Structure 1
């Protein structure tokens, strides 16, 4: 069995983010390839020019320019007025979609009392924190047996608290709802919005939704939430496996089934990643026994968008 960095043992109160993880979030940022200029200022470069935060070029002063944009040091050297022009920073609207179907209740012995839905809560809270720090808008949707539950996009600490309350209310159960019940998503998630999907990726309808969102010019990222037991298959002797959504059970001799399972499971993940990449969707795996910032770091690393 491969060794893993030991995840933080405790959560940080009601916000789901351990203190050590929160400290490591400082150098992460949500970013979208399709971020465009719009309303307000955020931390995402657009092609428009204005009084943003990052220097782009000098130009000659024109009547109506704000005096604070004048470079007075350059004036002292040249006796001419020049204005520092910057690339305007555009706000991002980010959405976190959490799968709450029955399979998200799956945990394993590698981390007792911790399951896929717990990890989804923590990852979602991290995404809200990043968006809050960046001055972006963000919203939240839970999708599962109870249908669709939405927290409309907003900004600021109160919006973060509304989303955290939504995370506290999450319960896993049932299967993926039919397409008709997800129609409100299309009314809220607009073109160019960033969508982070937190799911085990086992429902074909979930994969189909991501593909449709990406085809409709939404920026989609996916973290597949998987257990350490699915990665390592450490079982011994006879073992009963049960599908939490269908109830179907299978009894097998674990040691003799290990090689075939790992080969099939690895191949299935590889094929799913290739399918999502073909649709322009960034994807990675979040394992239950690793610190929650690690999959975010892989997914949001520079160049991850180009690799998708």
Structure 2
């Protein structure tokens, strides 16, 4: 798999998405079921109660046996991609990429995969300009729309409140919601939104982004840390504080994972320095379990 730095260095989100996803497409099985669709798949013997319109009468005339023509029917889904574009997503990892950079690559690759599966895919960006929403569509022009929205997304401010996100939960629409966020929230805004989306859409895949340098706390000596959303700063000795910081971080991550799974979310932590393959694998796994 290509590293996120190489993909980002392509400076072409469409190409990066295709390159990131192409390795999966060879081994991924399209989600299909047998039924009365358009593409012929196989014959099976007639059983009482079967639809007589699907009988192959020519075959019956030749063989004196009754067989039904079965087809393969696509089981497409609606995929709702959700991007957290709050200011904390501007955190920069040691590889030079921000969380927002990584999220752009990841969501673009997932959109590409979704289209290859025949799914209708949409995107919601929650950030400084409020809600930017592209409803799920399956037409060929949807990917360029999504790529443009991701490329022009900027991270600033805090995660919007319920008033901004209300249109997303206003009506029931069966979908797989894929949220990419660092889960930096003030008063459970992200968790509340995902809980409501789960109620109206059904499935939530939560991909929790963490920078490698915040996981390892790789800073050295005296440093000043600034909260990207509140602007507050803190001076400390990184080497001295590392053990306590890492202990508290692991405790918070454990509690966060348990709370998310308790709510029924399919929760996974992602390291922004690692390739996108794990996230794409989890996406395909979840997608195929609900097809």
Tell me the TM-score normalised to structure 2 length.
0.85
Q: Which residue of 1 aligns with 2:127?
A: 144
User: Residue 50 of structure 1 corresponds to which residue in structure 2?
Assistant: 36
**1:123 corresponds to which residue?**
106
- State the shift of 1:212 in Å: 2.0
User: Given that residues 129 and 160 in structure 1 are in contact (C-alpha distance below 8 angstroms), is that contact kept between their aligned partners in structure 2?
Assistant: yes
Task: State how 1:99-118 maps to structure 2 within 5 Å.
Answer: 99-109=84-94, 111-112=95-96, 114-118=97-101
**Structure 2 unmatched runs, 5+:** none
Q: Offset at 1:18?
A: 5.9
Shift of 1:299: 5.1
Matched, 1:79 2:64: yes
Any conservation in 1 of the 2:110–2:283 contact (CA below 8 Å)? Answer: no
Query: CA 1:17/1:55 → structure 2, altered by over 3 Å: closer, same or farther?
Result: farther
Match of 2:281 in 1: 297
Give the number of the structure whose residues are more often helix, by fraction. Answer: 2
CA-to-partner distance for each residue in 1:282-301, whole Å, 9 max, x for gaps? 11122111112233324544
Which of 114, 139, 142 aligns to 1:156? It is: 139
Aligned residue pairs, count: 283
- Looking at structure 2, the residues matched to 23 and 57 of structure 1 have their Cα atoms a distance apart, in angstroms, of 35
Cα distance change of structure 1 residues 286 and 98 upon mapping to structure 2, 3 Å threshold? same
Equivalent position of 1:65 in the other structure: 54
Q: Deviations over 1:228-276 (max 9, x none)?
A: 0111111111111110000111111111111111111111111111111
The alpha-carbon distance between structure 1 residues 58 and 244, as it changes in their structure 2 partners (threshold 3 A), is farther
Q: Give, in angstroms, the shift of residue 220 of structure 1.
A: 0.6
Matches within 5 A, 1:80-229: 80-85=65-70, 88-109=73-94, 111-112=95-96, 114-187=97-170, 190-203=172-185, 204-229=188-213
- DSSP 3-state at the match of 1:209: helix
Change (3 A) 1:226 1:156: same
Q: Tell me the SS of whatever aligns to 1:108.
A: coil
CA distance in structure 1 between the partners assigned to 2:289 and 2:79 by the alignment: 16
User: How many Å apart are 1:108 and its aligned residue?
Assistant: 1.9
Specify whether residues 16 and 181 from structure 1 end up closer, same or farther in structure 2 by C-alpha distance, changes over 3 A only.
farther
Does structure 2 retain, via aligned residues, the 8 Å contact 1:174–1:245? yes
Q: Using structure 1 for the length normalisation, give the TM-score.
A: 0.80
Q: What is aligned with 2:23?
A: 24
Specify the alignment match of 1:242 in structure 2.
226
Q: Which residue of 2 aligns with 1:35?
A: none
Give the C-alpha shift of residue 215 in structure 1: 3.1
Structure 1: stretches of 5+ with no match in the other structure: 31-41
Counterpart Cα distance in 2 of 1:255 and 1:301: 40
- Pair 144,255 (structure 1): closer, same or farther in 2 beyond 3 Å: same
Report if the CA contact (8 A) 1:196-1:223 is conserved: yes
Q: 1:79, CA displacement in angstroms?
A: 2.6
